[in-house]
Amino acid sequence: MQYTHKKSLGQHFLHDENMCRKIVAALQQQPVQQLVEVGPGAGAITKYLMELPDVTLKLIEIDDEKVAYLLHTYPALEGKIIHESVLDTGVPFEGPFTVIGNFPYNISTEIVFKVLDWKTQVTAVIGMFQKEVAQRLAAGPGSKVYGVTSVLTQAYFNVEYLFDVPPGCFAPPPKVMSGVIRMTPVQTPIHMRSENDFRILVKAAFNQRRKQLRNAVRSLFSTEVLQDPIFNQRAEQLSIEQFAALTFQMN
């Protein structure tokens, strides 16, 4: 049974078996009982996931053709495929679960925010992204690529950049390098006034990242609070903890 690559869905399928095994090996660095693969495509990683002992596996795949191909090629997947966009999917399991995927590049950031919606249940994420997106997720204060997604993700997950994945590992090869990251929940939750305030502050701060924080977030704080020297800095200089602490002083 044949399948096609759909550019509209951001599809670039892994065909390098060594790389597939390397990604699955990264997954096995922590215990896994319930596992959801996002965007399995033609099953390059899936076939290895199916071999993991004592793991309950589900797949999320929107593409009709790929669902048909997977069920034809791997009949054991019957009843394990959630046939819709991950962005529309409810929580795939009760209780804790792990997420893995060669995430479609055109919605990869949205997938991270979906994981944040599930954060109380997600025990780990092994995800492949465009390298620049992966680096942004893992970036720390002072980095040129440290931004909104870095802060909002790392408030809840430790992010570790694991390894590069060259274009030649895919069909069709993307025009950019890819990278795999591991996300694991932070051990100590960061104290903030509310998640909504935190998001508003971080997005406002980085919306004008070249300006002093004072100018970027002026509407969110009183004139008195804005006198604090911390507002002399730019957004990219603040740690996640500093952003969280500032939420308690917002209007």
pLDDT (tens digit per residue) in 123-158:
999 999 999 999 999 999 999 999 999 999 999 999
Instruction: Tell whether residue 12 is among the known ligand binding residues.
Output: yes
By the 8 A CB rule, do 190 and 240 touch? Answer: yes
By the 8 A CB rule, do 15 and 44 touch? Answer: yes
Instruction: Tell whether residue 14 is among the known ligand binding residues.
Output: yes
- Average pLDDT over the chain reads 95
Is 50 exceeded by the pLDDT of residue 114? yes
197 to 55, 168, 220, 245, 248: CA distances (angstroms): 38, 43, 10, 11, 9
Question: What are the residue boundaries of the structural domains of the chain, listed by start?
Answer: 7-185, 195-249
Instruction: Tell whether residue 39 is among the known ligand binding residues.
Output: yes
Q: Does domain 195-249 have CATH number 1.10.357.10?
A: no
Q: Does domain 7-185 have CATH number 4.10.1240.10?
A: no
Give residue 13's pLDDT band: very low, low, confident or very high (50, 70, 90).
confident
